[in-house]
Each structure stands twice: as C-alpha cells, then as structure tokens.
C-alpha cells in the first residue's frame, strides 16, 4: 500500500491536516465559527468552479474564500449578527457557483470532486499549499497563544488591557479562510464543515484543559485519517466521508461515555 506514490502523498496530506485542522477545530467550537467555516467552504466551491472555467483554480478558490471571510467582518454590526452576516455574504456566491457549474465540462464528476474531495488525488502542489498554510497557523498560535485564549473567553477584558481584539478576529478569519480554501481539493466543501467542528467537539467533551484539547483533536484527525485511508485503498471508498463517519461515531461515544464534561 505504501509503495504507491499517491498513497504516500495522501498520508502526508492527512498528517498536515491533523495539525492544521487540529488547531482550527478548537477555535471553531470555542468562538462559534462553524457558520463562517461553512460560508468559506461554499465560497471555495464557487472559486473552484470559476478556476476550472478560467484557469488557476487554486487562486480563485483562495480569493473567494478570503472575500467571504472579510465580508463577514465588514457586514457584522449591532443589528446584524456574525452568523447572519456570513449567510448574507456567501449565499449569493454559492448560488452563482451552482449556476456556473452547469457550464463545466464533465459537470457531475467535477462538482462531486469539489463537494467531497479527493484525498488520493492530491499532488505535490496541493501538499505544498497545505504545508504553507499549516506553518502559518502554527507560527500564529505559538506567537499569540495567550492572546487567542484571552480574546476567545473575554473580549471585553482583553480590549480593556490593550489586546488587539478586532485585529485578532480578522487574522483568525483570514487564516481560517486560507486553510479551508487550500485544502478543499483534498477534503471537499461538504466534508470540511464536519472536520472543522467534530474533532474539537469530541476533544472538548473529553477534557477541560484547552491545551490538552488541541492535542486530542490532532490525534483524532490523524487516526481517523489513517484508518479512512486504509479502508479507502482496499474498498475503493472516498477518504473524507469515511473520516467524517469515524469522527461522528467518536463524538457519540464521547458524548454518552463522558456526559459530565
């Protein structure tokens, strides 16, 4: 199995995702960023369709994801909630992408690939983009760990003591958008939504330590990814949906075995 180059690339992509998504999933749960992640994922779908039609799909995917992330911050205000601002930002872009998909040659297979991903189809360029995005996340978390925790739990106090609350929110949104868009080809738009939420939900169910929860979420993603890769190789199944099934079962086990958390 490991003698195949495409399996080696998929395994490396999973290991990188375990670090990047492992960091993001805790923030998504604590900061209630699930809707934003969904919006960015749908925008990435549209970007992928535009890229297929015009060329450079990775560039268009990143641009549309960043657009939604920044628009959500711009639209949000006293009378527009964060969740609703994201819905306003991505609904038009998603609808536009669905219309454009009808002009794509081999429409069904192309759309399915964008929606559900192709972990076994990643190439060296995909791995390079994921590596850069993961490195950026790690550097950001290492340098701003305490600021991230403080602004997550008490924005008002953090603002009073001089922390750049608004800037941190923007940077987190941009990094989230960048990570989602560069890994969407491997994971898929629909599966990304689950991978952003479920590992963190399981980890936070198992521990009260936020430092430990990041470690648990990384291990969960890595283990589910490797198990899914093995099943996908021998049974000819898609990797990302298998990961979501395994993680969902893990959540159910954690929820009912550790209900007091």
Enumerate domains of the chain plus CATH numbers: 5-257 (1.10.3470.10)
Predicted local confidence at residue 259, as pLDDT: 67
Instruction: Report the chain's mean pLDDT, rounded to a whole number.
Output: 87
Task: Name the residue among 178, 137, 108, 145 with its Cα closest to residue 22.
Answer: 137
Residue with structure tokens 């779908």?
45
Tell me the pLDDT tens digit for each residue of 174-188.
999 999 999 998 999
Predicted local confidence at residue 77, as pLDDT: 53
pTM for the predicted model, two decimal places: 0.88
Rounded CA gap, 222 and 207, in Å?
Answer: 19
**201: CB partners within 8 A, 6+ apart:** 25, 29, 251
Q: Is the dihedral of CA 210, 211, 216, 219 positive or negative?
A: positive
Tell me the pLDDT tens digit for each residue of 228-259.
999 999 998 899 999 999 999 999 999 888 76
Tell me the pLDDT tens digit for each residue of 116-147.
888 998 999 999 999 999 999 999 999 999 89
């Amino acid at each position: 199995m490991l003698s195949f180059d495409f399996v080696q690339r998929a395994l490396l992509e999973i290991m990188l995702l375990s670090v990047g998504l492992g960091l993001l999933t805790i923030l998504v749960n604590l900061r209630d960023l699930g809707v934003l992640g969904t919006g960015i994922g749908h925008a990435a779908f549209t970007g992928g369709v535009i890229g297929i039609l015009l060329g450079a799909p990775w560039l268009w995917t990143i641009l549309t994801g960043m657009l939604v992330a920044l628009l959500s911050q711009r639209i949000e205000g006293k009378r527009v909630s964060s969740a609703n601002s994201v819905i306003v930002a991505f609904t038009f872009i998603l609808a536009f992408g669905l219309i454009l998909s009808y002009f794509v040659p081999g429409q069904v297979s192309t759309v399915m690939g964008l929606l559900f991903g192709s972990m076994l189809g990643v190439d060296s360029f995909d791995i390079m983009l994921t590596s850069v995005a993961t490195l950026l996340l790690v550097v950001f978390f290492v340098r701003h760990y305490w600021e991230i925790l403080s602004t997550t739990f008490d924005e008002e106090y953090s603002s009073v003591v001089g922390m750049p609350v608004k800037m941190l929110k923007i940077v987190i949104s941009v990094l989230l958008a960048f990570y989602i868009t560069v890994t969407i080809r491997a994971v898929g738009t629909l599966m990304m939504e689950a991978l952003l939420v479920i590992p963190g939900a399981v980890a936070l169910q198992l521990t009260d330590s936020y430092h430990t929860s990041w470690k648990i979420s990384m291990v969960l993603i890595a283990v589910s990814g490797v198990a899914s890769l093995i099943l996908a190789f021998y049974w000819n199944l898609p990797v990302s949906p298998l990961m979501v099934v395994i993680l969902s079962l893990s959540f159910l086990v954690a929820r009912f075995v550790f209900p007091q958390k």
